[in-house]
Amino acid sequence: MENACIWNWNYWLRGVRMKEIKVGLIGFGTVGQGLAEVLFMQQERMPKRTGMRIELAAIADKSAKALPERFAHIPLVQNGQDVINNPDIDIVVELIGGIEPAKSFMLAAIAAGKHVVTANKALLAQEGRDIFAAAAAKGVCVGFEASVGGGIPVIKALREGLVANRILSISGIMNGTANYILSRMTDEGIPFAEVLAEAQRLGFAEADPSYDVEGIDTAHKLAILMSMAYGMHITHREVNTEGISRIEPLDIELAREFGYRIKLLAISRNHGDHVEARVHPTMVPQDHLLASISGAYNAIHFHGDCAGNILLYGLGAGKVPTGSAVAADVVDIARDIACGSIGRVPPLSYLSDQFTPRRITPMDELYGPYYFRFTVLDQPGVLASIAGILSEQDISIESVIQKGRKESGGAVPLVIVTHAAQESSVERALARINTLEAVTAPAVKIRIFEDE
Amino acid sequence: MENACIWNWNYWLRGVRMKEIKVGLIGFGTVGQGLAEVLFMQQERMPKRTGMRIELAAIADKSAKALPERFAHIPLVQNGQDVINNPDIDIVVELIGGIEPAKSFMLAAIAAGKHVVTANKALLAQEGRDIFAAAAAKGVCVGFEASVGGGIPVIKALREGLVANRILSISGIMNGTANYILSRMTDEGIPFAEVLAEAQRLGFAEADPSYDVEGIDTAHKLAILMSMAYGMHITHREVNTEGISRIEPLDIELAREFGYRIKLLAISRNHGDHVEARVHPTMVPQDHLLASISGAYNAIHFHGDCAGNILLYGLGAGKVPTGSAVAADVVDIARDIACGSIGRVPPLSYLSDQFTPRRITPMDELYGPYYFRFTVLDQPGVLASIAGILSEQDISIESVIQKGRKESGGAVPLVIVTHAAQESSVERALARINTLEAVTAPAVKIRIFEDE
């Protein structure tokens, strides 16, 4: 048989020395250690599945002094460049995170003709265009399964499993820390700051939590998924991003009364010539699967024109789960090396010259239902004047709750859920309502999730 | 670049004629029409993603007299063998279902050196060993993404996305008809027969519903997933299978009181030397994701030693969703053809000579919690004697509900939920309890789902 891969197996089955793929790792932090763990745990299973041995042949870490005993046989160097320069290395895995020196290492590895794998969503969301262009020009692979959804094989599902689909929408919970905090706030009615502080104590949240709680990390991931789903160039800067730090227990409690849970969602709807790109706290109907994703789990939902609704659920972070995704990329590339099929699947799912620019839908043009919480003096006529302003802007009210409970200065919360309305009209209405004398605090606005 | 695939693109990018892959379809029923629809819907997108044109070049259907107008240009023949004999065809897609003549067509196509794709779970679960052996010997691909989970890319996720995992357990809702019937029974309290009759009227259920409601179809799918997850040969005959036809609204209602929903689950836990293989109605805790999968949707859950819990959700059946999965296989194979990388990934995820036999855990050896419903005369001492028999068999009671409500002959339901117990002890206990004078009907036993 003139067939590279089956030949390669028979080769091995005939007892000839098995093909070995050598992996060089730059960055021995949490995920780097996770990859080493995974390759160690799977070292006997891998040859049975791939006909190859996957060997972690070099580790670079600028601070690590020594490796755990079971990895002690692996050469440890300080400088990533030493791994890149190592002629034995087939695949360079970058797991240091951040933009620099990560980008320089990636580009140097590509220039050296190495295939590269990364979990670095910030780097791909910001500098991905340079990296993918360099890799395509050099004819090497770029693996990034671990950059979105941790251990969930979401990149492969979107690129290959859903290849026969026009993606109509993407939505999901893509940051476990933010979801953990919202879940605790929801289940226990604790304020944001308190849960965050505890999460930091427990190590679930970074010392600087802004990437997680302000939605930036989620925006990185949405940008990566959008570029693959639509075949367009987009950075996280083009994603309209709003975090959860201003969510109050009161809104979570009122959301429940209306049948919603508040989640930090990434949302992109495909309107053809323009596509939505937004990350913000969202009211999700209690019976929707995304509402029941709690704790540190992630869930990513695609709506394909052929497959329909697809949801992928799993651990969005963590040492070994993320290592599992990195290892899957390494195996994929190892198979392409063994079969001489590098570039078999375009990394971003569309051929690089087939990317088409699309306008990002301005938030003003969004159209959907809203939750408003007004803080108003408990006096006659307030609801009438607010309702009047809303109707002037063609915003029709679905339901209202006025709470008797007094807050500071005799003010009470007035909650209104609307039917679908245009965000620009909503902004105009809220601006006017905030000027009313009986309104003692700026209105709270939370968008309500609409499933296709 | 001496690189097959990137070369292949550049080739196309330089305006040289694009590679064309010709697909021959045997069976123009629901899924066959779905595949044609999908290839039609995606015909402009495919070249942008693959650098190839995927052409449906021949259709065989023994009863179809003519094709819909947009497919009228495709030659229609009566006999599948004519498609197999067509030298232009690269990939033969078998979508007639059933064992014969499907198996003969598959083997003939393989013998003719064609790559094959099928959605036929019954065929693979029963005759897969012959088919995969023939394909490996001939060096052709076998695609079967559509055989499990309809449009959900579950086969690829298990084989490639989770390649760096030992699968510790598989569980899931894999039959939309059974799940639809149970959902209706749960939401509306309607008896099984009534919902089934309506489902048949609406076309959601076959005239002969036994494959769906008796769990046979689910067993086919579990056998396919188990063979891939564990690298073992198993047919659906080795899967312990029990359907939903005997589930009564009363048990659904009582399950709710205990915080459970009844679902038809496929369950396999990996004990190393032995593996569980079972399909039966199961009490799923209300807060578990599997409990909230309703209607015709499927959800498949894997627990990997590295990735942790992964759940894949989507439409488990339907013309176009299933067509989307078939098309994904076709594209995968087309890429292997273009790259000369046939056999790049072993179809069953382990190399064929690496399959290891494993004992199927006898049901007697199962260990877990149980729900029992006894029908007893409302008289003193009954609970005492039942509890006594249970404790003799080391079955400890977690909770009890005795319903005042009388049934025929003054009998009342007595429900007991147990802690984890051995199924053999349970069977012994129930046999004895059924002989008690105060027990007027055989005990109902439903296993309770335990998540890892």
Chain A residues within an 8 Å CB radius of B151: 304, 306-308, 310
Alpha carbon dihedral A185, A190, A194, A195, in 10-degree steps, equals -30
The pLDDT of residue A3:
46
ipTM over 0.90? The verdict is: yes
Q: Residues A119-175: pLDDT tens digits?
A: 999 999 999 999 999 999 999 999 999 999 999 999 999 999 999 999 999 999 999
With contacts defined as CB-CB under 8 Å, which chain A residues touch B309?
297, 313-315
Q: How many CA atoms lie within 13 A of B181 on its CB side?
A: 32
Q: What is the pLDDT along chain B (452 residues), one digit of tens a residue?
A: 344 465 455 545 555 567 899 999 999 999 999 999 999 999 999 999 999 999 999 999 999 899 999 999 999 999 999 999 999 999 999 999 999 999 999 999 999 999 999 999 999 999 999 999 999 999 999 999 999 999 999 999 999 999 999 999 999 999 999 999 999 999 999 999 999 999 899 887 888 899 999 999 999 999 999 999 999 999 999 999 999 999 999 999 999 999 999 999 999 999 999 999 999 999 999 999 999 999 889 999 999 999 999 999 999 999 999 999 999 999 999 999 999 999 999 999 999 889 999 999 999 999 999 999 999 998 889 999 999 999 999 999 999 998 766 655 678 999 999 999 999 999 999 999 999 999 999 999 999 999 76
Confidence at residue B2, expressed as pLDDT on a 0 to 100 scale: 42
Query: How many whole angstroms separate alpha carbon A229 and alpha carbon A236?
Result: 15
pLDDT of res. A206: 80
Mind telling me the catalytic residues of A? 221
How far apart CA B343 and CA B142 sit, in angstroms, is 9
Task: Decide if A161 and B153 are in contact by the 8 Å CB cutoff.
Answer: yes
Please indicate whether, in this complex, the C-beta atoms of B139 and A331 are within 8 angstroms of each other.
no
pLDDT in tens, A369-401: 999 999 999 888 999 999 999 999 999 999 999
Neighbours of A178 (CB within 10 A): 30
Phi, psi (degrees; rounded to nearest 5) at A239: -90, 125
Question: Per-residue pLDDT tens for A311-366?
Answer: 999 999 999 999 999 999 999 999 999 999 999 999 999 998 899 999 999 999 99
Q: Architecture of domain B154-315 in CATH?
A: 2-Layer Sandwich (3.30)
User: Of A199, A281, A212, whose CA–CA distance to A240 is shortest?
Assistant: A281
* Residue B308, CA distances (Å) to A319, A356, B199 in order: 11, 37, 36
pLDDT tens for residues B377-421? 988 899 999 999 999 999 999 999 987 666 556 789 999 999 999
Dihedral pair phi/psi, residue A230, rounded to 5°: -110, -10
Indicate if the pLDDT at residue A402 is higher than 80. Answer: yes
Distance, CA of A233 to CA of B366 (rounded, Å): 53
Domain ranges of chain B: 2-150+320-354, 154-315, 363-448
Which candidate in B163, B322, B333 is best for mutational testing of the A interface (most A CBs within 10 A)? B163
Cβ–Cβ under 8 Å, residues A342 and A113: no
Q: What local confidence, expressed as pLDDT, does residue B241 receive?
A: 98
- CA–CA separation, A437 and B304 (whole Å): 59
Q: What pLDDT is stored for residue A208 in this prediction?
A: 86
Cis peptide before A101 (omega within 30 of 0): yes
Q: Choose among A307, A342, A344: nearest Cβ to B151.
A: A307
8 Å CB contact of B328 and A152: no
Encode pLDDT of A267-292 as tens digits: 999 999 999 999 999 999 999 999 99
The count of C-alpha atoms lying within 13 angstroms of the C-alpha of B206, restricted to the half-sphere facing its C-beta, is: 13
Helix (H) or strand (E) holding B22: strand B19-26
CATH class, domain A363-448, is alpha beta
Average pLDDT along chain A: 93
In this complex, which of A5, A41, A162 lies closest to B305 when CB atoms are compared? A41
- Helical (H) or strand (E) element with B8: helix B4-13
Answer whether B331 sits within 8 Å of A292, measured CB to CB: no
Closest B-chain CA to A318:
B307
Residue-level pLDDT at A380: 85
Phi and psi at residue A171, to the nearest 5°? -150, 150
**What burial letters (b/e) apply to A267-303, b meaning 16+ CB within 10 Å?**
bbbbeeeebbbbbbbbbbeeebbbbbbbebbbbbbbb
- Burial, A323: exposed, middle or buried (Cβ in 10 Å; 0-12, 13-18, 19+)? buried
Catalytic choice (B103, B114, B221, B263): B221
CA gap B165, A327 in Å, rounded = 10
Is B221 annotated as catalytic? Answer: yes
Structure tokens at B118: 């099928």
Q: Tell if the CB–CB gap between A306 and B320 is shorter than 8 Å.
A: yes
Tell me how many helices (H) and strands (E) chain A has. 15, 20
Architecture of B2-150+320-354 per CATH? Answer: 3-Layer(aba) Sandwich (3.40)
Q: Which residues of B touch A317 (CB under 8 A)?
A: none
Residue B307 has its nearest CB partner, among A139, A151, A289, at: A151
Residue A19: per-residue pLDDT: 86
Contact between A307 and B325 using a beta-carbon 8 Å cutoff = yes
Instruction: Give the separation between CA B72 and CA A105, rounded to whole angstroms.
Output: 54
Cβ <8 Å between B340 and A49: no
Pairing, β B439-448 against β B278-285? parallel
Q: Which residues from chain B sit within 8 angstroms of residue A145, using beta carbons? A: 161
Comparing A2-150+320-354 with A363-448, is the CATH topology the same? Answer: no
B378-397 b/e with 16+ CB inside 10 Å = b? beeebbebbeebbeebebeb
Alpha-carbon gap: B115 to the closest alpha carbon of chain A (Å): 13
Q: Which residues of A touch B6 (CB under 8 A)?
A: 136, 139, 342-343
Give the span between the Cα atoms of B157 and A158, in whole angstroms.
11
The pTM assigned to this predicted structure is 0.96
Q: Which residue has the tokens 């429900």?
A: B415
Binning pLDDT at 50, 70 and 90, where does residue A1 land?
very low
